[in-house]
């Protein structure tokens, strides 16, 4: 296999890096599979599957997010929150952190599309139900496993939404929750799929008094409210709604009026009725701490024959020098590339 691809040195360099990574995977097998997945994420500059284990610094930001999640769970109506983060400095990481923290505190987590006020209520319903996580599980998985606990009191609470739901939406939601409460898993999954756009036999619908179209509410906010209360009926304390992006045009202040809800997004400008949390860059010391955590995952992933060159006392000497203008993404990629290079120089035998 040649390292030369045409005359473009950028292609040649990229091809050489691919060969090096393939060699690492082939030579250093038998390590921790999850750790290796984390390293692949670090190479791409994206958050790993679980970010709590590699989060450093920004204690005030994390504590602020915890307080706001607690406020949503207690229906204290926290203002929607935007994280003002320098590009490349970890907005997706922080949103993932909040998602993990929410799940730990029994909050459902769902994603909402930018511009959601301008799409159909049914599209909003599809996105929310499809992205919802309960204790890390999809809604379908929670229903299938029987771990979605539904009480009569929860069903009555959903029925109290009659002012926001359409009559047909109220009927659909009631039948779904009754099926979940009675452990009729197949029925619950059929109804959930229908709420997300899958077909449902007309005879099945007629026998249960269901409408032709399963739209829960006629408005954007009505659908959000219905989905939040569905999550609570299935055991969640509330919902964290995430918009993964900067400068959202969705009316997040309006969504925040929905009970038991925290809306979280990124943004670098002040907006009325929105709490802005300023996220400072990681300090050089925090970047070095992050490098040690990446090093630990790298060793777990590939079982280094000799980790001596990257022990704490020597690691700083082999890494680039961090600076205040270096973004977290650039640092993570630089550290991972350095570790890959050092490992490729070792004898796997």
268-312 pLDDT, tens digit per residue, is 766 778 888 999 999 999 999 999 999 999 999 988 889 999 999
pLDDT at 5: 41
pLDDT at 4: 40
- Give residues with Cβ within 8 angstroms of 228, minimum separation 6: 108, 238, 239, 258, 259, 260, 261
Q: Which residues pair with 109 in a beta bridge?
A: 133, 240
pLDDT at 111: 87
Tokens read off for 119? 């799409």
pLDDT at 17: 56
The model's pTM? 0.82
- How many CB atoms within 10 Å of residue 187? 18
pLDDT at 26: 55
Tokens read off for 194? 């229908």
- Give residues with Cβ within 8 angstroms of 159, minimum separation 6: 170, 174
What is the C-alpha separation between 167 and 176, in angstroms, rounded?
14
pLDDT at 246: 58
pLDDT at 105: 79
What is the C-alpha separation between 272 and 270, in angstroms, rounded?
7
pLDDT at 15: 43
Q: Which helix (H) or strand (E) holds 261?
A: strand 261-266
What is the C-alpha separation between 107 and 101, in angstroms, rounded?
9
pLDDT at 30: 55
Helical H runs in the chain?
9-27, 33-44, 59-73, 91-104, 121-131, 139-145, 152-159, 167-181, 185-195, 202-207, 220-233, 252-255, 284-302, 312-318, 328-344
What is the C-alpha separation between 169 and 106, in angstroms, rounded?
26
Tokens read off for 251? 């009316």
What is the C-alpha separation between 168 and 227, in angstroms, rounded?
15
pLDDT at 93: 93
Q: Mind listing the pLDDT tens digit of every residue in the chain (349 residues)?
A: 333 444 445 545 554 554 555 556 555 555 688 999 999 999 998 999 899 989 999 999 999 999 999 999 888 888 889 999 998 898 999 999 999 998 887 899 998 876 555 568 888 899 999 999 988 888 888 888 766 667 666 667 667 676 778 888 888 888 888 888 888 889 999 999 999 999 999 999 999 999 998 888 888 888 888 898 888 888 888 999 998 665 555 677 778 888 899 999 887 766 778 888 999 999 999 999 999 999 999 999 988 889 999 999 999 999 988 877 889 999 999 999 999 999 988 876 6
Tokens read off for 316? 């700083």
- How many CB atoms within 10 Å of residue 196? 17
What is the C-alpha separation between 150 and 76, in angstroms, rounded?
24
Tokens read off for 184? 């009729």
What is the C-alpha separation between 273 and 22, in angstroms, rounded?
50
pLDDT at 241: 92
- How many CB atoms within 10 Å of residue 195? 26
pLDDT of 38-94, one tens digit each? 999 999 989 998 999 899 999 999 999 999 999 998 888 888 899 999 988 989 999
| Contact indicator for 185, 144 with CB cutoff of 8 Å | yes
pLDDT at 75: 84
pLDDT at 33: 87
SS3 letters across 144-168: HHCCCCCCHHHHHHHHHHHHCECHH
């Amino acid at each position: 296999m040649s390292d030369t691809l045409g005359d473009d040195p950028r292609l040649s360099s990229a091809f050489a890096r691919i060969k090096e990574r393939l060699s690492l995977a082939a030579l250093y097998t038998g390590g921790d599979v999850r750790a290796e997945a984390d390293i692949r994420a670090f190479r791409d500059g994206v958050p790993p599957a679980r970010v709590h284990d590699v989060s450093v610094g920004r204690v005030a930001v994390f504590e602020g997010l915890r307080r706001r999640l607690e406020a949503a769970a207690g229906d204290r109506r926290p203002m929607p929150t935007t994280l003002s983060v320098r590009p490349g400095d970890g907005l997706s990481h922080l949103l993932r952190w909040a998602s993990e923290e929410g799940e730990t505190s029994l909050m459902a987590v769902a994603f909402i599309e930018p511009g959601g006020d301008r799409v159909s209520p049914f599209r909003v319903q599809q996105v929310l139900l499809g992205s919802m996580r309960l204790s890390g599980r999809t809604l379908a998985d929670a229903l299938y496993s029987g771990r979605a606990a539904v009480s009569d009191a929860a069903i009555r609470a959903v029925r109290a939404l009659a002012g926001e739901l359409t009559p047909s939406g109220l009927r659909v939601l009631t039948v779904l929750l009754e099926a979940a409460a009675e452990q009729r898993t197949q029925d619950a999954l059929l109804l959930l799929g229908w709420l997300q756009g899958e077909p449902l036999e007309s005879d099945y619908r007629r026998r249960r008094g269901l409408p032709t179209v399963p739209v829960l509410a006629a408005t954007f906010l009505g659908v959000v409210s219905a989905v939040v209360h569905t999550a609570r009926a299935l055991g969640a304390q509330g919902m964290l709604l995430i918009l993964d992006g900067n400068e959202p045009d969705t009316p997040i202040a309006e969504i925040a009026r929905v009970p038991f809800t925290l809306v979280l997004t990124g943004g670098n400008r002040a907006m009325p009725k929105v709490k802005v949390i300023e996220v400072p860059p990681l300090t050089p010391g925090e970047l070095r701490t992050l490098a040690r955590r990446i090093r630990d995952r790298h060793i777990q992933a590939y079982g280094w024959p000799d980790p001596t060159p990257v022990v704490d006392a020597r690691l700083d000497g082999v890494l680039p020098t961090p600076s205040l203008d270096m973004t977290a993404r650039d640092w993570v990629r630089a550290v991972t590339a350095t570790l890959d290079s050092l490992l490729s120089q070792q004898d796997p035998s």
